[in-house]
Amino acid sequence: MPSGTIVTGVIGSDTHIVGNRILTMALEKAGYKVVSLGALTPAADFVKAAVETRAQAILVSSLYGQGELDCRGFRDLCTEAGLEDILLYVGGNLVVGKRSWEETEQTYRAMGFDRVAAPGTRSEAVLEWLAQDLSGQEA
């Protein structure tokens, strides 16, 4: 049974909360403590929540096409707050325009996200990632 605290929410001026809710339910069912910030969450609020709750991972959703702008500097915010080692995942509708998935994934990786979920990624896949990444961290 996995354990640990995960912060999640929908970043920026984005109101698409449904996918994030489904993910939250799956995470809770799997045994994680989930701090769910909901829609319209500024980047800084993810970081503040993670500091207070000593979260191991932040899972960011973005579905409205502006994710790249909203997520810029996210890793720096974490580092600034003393969360150098926190896991960062991002997922949703991240591909904008004619860019390929590979290119998009590379962009977010370069921003410091550990995992970048392509559209259609199932919650089981996210749970698997977490299991892998967190076991590595605790060792």
Partner 1 sequence: MNAALLIDFGSTYTKLRAVDIAARRLIGSGQGPSTVATDVNLGMHAALEDLERRAGKLPRFRYRLASSSAAGGLRMVTIGLVRELTAEAARQAALGAGAKLVGTFAYRLTQSDLQKITALAPDIVLLAGGTDGGNMEVVLHNAAALGASALSCPIVYAGNRAAADEARRHLAAKTALFTDNVMPEFNELNIDPARAAIRKVFIERIVHAKGIDRAAAAFDSVVMPTPAAVLEGARLVADGLPGARGLGSVLVVDPGGATTDVHSVASGEPAPGVIPQGLPEPRVKRTVEGDLGMRYNAAAVVEAAGSAVIAADAGIREEEVKTLVENLSANAGFLPATADEKAFDQALARAAVGIAVRRHCGSVKTVYTPTGPVTVQHGKDLRGVEALIGTGGVLAASPDARAILKRALADAREPLALMPAAPRLLLDREYLLYACGLLQSVEPQAALELALEHLIALDQELADERTGHG
Contacting residues toward partner 1, per CB under 8 A: 5, 13-16, 33, 35, 38-40, 48-49, 51-54, 64-66
With respect to partner 1, which residue has the nearer C-beta, 70 or 105? 70
Query: What is the nearest approach in angstroms of partner 1 to the Cβ of residue 35?
Result: 4
Pairing of strands 33-36, 87-92: unpaired
Query: What is the nearest approach in angstroms of partner 1 to the Cβ of residue 110?
Result: 25
Query: What is the nearest approach in angstroms of partner 1 to the Cβ of residue 25?
Result: 17
Catalytic residue check, 85: no
DSSP string covering 52-90: HHT-SEEEEEE-SS-HHHHHTTHHHHHHHTT-TT-EEEE
With respect to partner 1, which residue has the nearer C-beta, 76 or 124? 76
Q: Which of 56, 47, 16, 32 is nearest to 123 (CA)?
A: 32
With respect to partner 1, which residue has the nearer C-beta, 19 or 65? 65
* Residue partners of 105: CB distance under 8 A and separation at least 6: 116, 118
C-alpha to C-alpha distance for 51 and 48, rounded to whole angstroms: 5
* 48 and 20 Cβ atoms separated by less than 8 Å: no
Query: What is the nearest approach in angstroms of partner 1 to the Cβ of residue 47?
Result: 9
With respect to partner 1, which residue has the nearer C-beta, 35 or 88? 35
Catalytic residue check, 133: no
Residues with catalytic function: 14, 16
